[in-house]
Amino acid sequence: MLSQIEKLREHNQLSVIKAFQQAGLSASDFQFSTGYGYDDPARETIEIIFADLFAAEKALVRIQFSSGTQILSVMLKAILRPYDKFLIVSGDVYDTLHTTLGIDQTADHTSLKDYLIDYDQLELTSEGTIDYVSLEEKMAEPDVFYKAVYVQRSRGYTLRPALLNQDIFKISQIVKRYSPQTLILVDNCYGEFVEKSEPTAHGADLIAGSLIKNPGGGIAPSGGYIAGRSDLVELCAEQFNAPGVGSEIGPSLGMSRSIAQGIYFAPLIVANALKVAIHASALFKNQGYKVEPLPDDQRGDIVQTIIFNDRNKLISFCEAVQAAAPIDNKYAPVPAPMPGYDCDIIMASGSFTQGSSIELSADGPLRSPYAAFLQGGLNFEYGRLACMLALDKIWQEA
């Protein structure tokens, strides 16, 4: 499996180098643009690089995106209109996206529900996979038109496997057969560079992700991207900025160099994160814990789930990951309420960039089955140390 990751890293790194060379990014492009950000050469060239890498017609790559939830909200609100309906095919979405959808809404927000946009949701099969039979049935219903089908590639706080590009291709084939106008929107967070191509090469009309995850390479200090069909990306730019302005404005504020370096190093960093995940999976599986994915499973994201079925073990695991960190290792994470979640969350992230999931982090909801979600690792040694400290701490406290 590790040799396969090295081949993946090599392929993706060469693809990145080729995209940089074809786009012609120059040192003189790295200006400190301010104000409106008109004619920012680095920003424009970086967006060409992202579009090339993701087999997309166009990409919107902006430092002003702050979180994955924000990026996904922009994408959904750009595409959907009042009285539109869309279909979620990958089961429950991230807890933090519930407010965007209007789930259990008790106050006035700017949610999709507030704008009279509705959705249906397909549950997963008992094996945690896409229910293709139900998808066919939904798409075949004569009186229902779905403006979009929404796919969450990563597992979120669930135990299902992450989706592969072949899954997204199959979803797209079914949907387009019944309704060619229906758009395929993919939350690509945690999935970039885990395979040799991205969902836009396999039927997705739009994909979106965060630069403090995989494509930022642990270097980008903030930001996000939306990539896909040119007209749809421009709609997202108008939702993000303003109608009529779209992608023409947006100062890079001197951050273009960091974004470019991040995407350049991303294949290496993602490969390291995958190695950490495989090591954690094997280590804790050998100690009798249930893990998902298994060490030899094909992966659609960088997330490794370790199921403890024990509140204290989950807390101990996260404490050890924090203790292994280069930043804030003297602090201990404490379960606490978090916006968008219905229970306390514990989060370990001793990262250079706040909230960065690619550096090495572990988190989980304080609810059954008390699973830890481990992701990232700028280098393998860091991740291995964290796993060893975590197992030792659990042993000592048993």
Query: Of the candidates 361, 356, 308, 358, which has an alpha carbon nearest to the alpha carbon of residue 333?
Result: 361
**What mean pLDDT comes out for the span 306-334?**
95
**What mean pLDDT comes out for the span 202-217?**
98
Our measurement of the distance from residue 232's CA atom to the centroid of its chain's CA atoms, rounded to an integer in Å, reads: 20
Query: Residues with Cβ < 8 Å from 93, sequence gap 6 or more?
Result: 101, 150, 152, 156, 187
19 token code pair: 């995209």
pLDDT tens figures, 130-167: 999 999 999 999 999 999 999 999 998 889 999 999 99
| pLDDT of amino acid 156 | 86
| pLDDT of amino acid 107 | 67
Q: Is the pLDDT of residue 356 over 80?
A: yes
**What mean pLDDT comes out for the span 24-47?**
94
Q: Is the pLDDT of residue 82 over 80?
A: yes
Q: In the chain, which segments carry CATH 3.90.1150.60? A: 263-397
Q: Which pLDDT band holds residue 348 (cuts at 50, 70, 90)?
A: very high
Q: Is the pLDDT of residue 192 over 70?
A: yes
pLDDT tens figures, 230-280: 999 999 999 999 999 999 999 999 999 999 999 999 999 999 999 999 999
Q: Is the pLDDT of residue 207 over 90?
A: yes
Q: In the chain, which segments carry CATH 3.40.640.10? A: 31-255
Q: Which pLDDT band holds residue 103 (cuts at 50, 70, 90)?
A: confident
Whether the pTM exceeds 0.85: the reply is: yes
Task: Report the distance separating Cα 151 and Cα 124, nearest Å.
Answer: 12
| pLDDT of amino acid 342 | 78
Q: Is the pLDDT of residue 120 over 90?
A: yes
Nearest 5°: phi and psi at 213? Answer: -115, -145
Query: Residues with Cβ < 8 Å from 213, sequence gap 6 or more?
Result: 68, 189, 190, 192, 356, 357, 358
| pLDDT of amino acid 17 | 98
Tell me the longest C-alpha to C-alpha distance in the chain.
Answer: 61
**Where does 263-397 sit in CATH, by number?**
3.90.1150.60
> What ranges in the chain are assigned the alpha helix state H?
2-23, 41-53, 68-79, 98-101, 132-140, 165-178, 230-240, 256-286, 311-323, 380-397
Q: Is the pLDDT of residue 340 over 70?
A: no
| pLDDT of amino acid 105 | 72
Quick one: what percent of the chain has pLDDT higher than 70? 99
| pLDDT of amino acid 285 | 98
| pLDDT of amino acid 339 | 72
Identity (one letter) of the amino acid at 56?
A
**What mean pLDDT comes out for the span 298-324?**
96
**Where does 31-255 sit in CATH, by number?**
3.40.640.10
Q: Is the pLDDT of residue 108 over 90?
A: no
Query: Of the candidates 230, 216, 211, which has an alpha carbon nearest to the alpha carbon of residue 267?
Result: 216
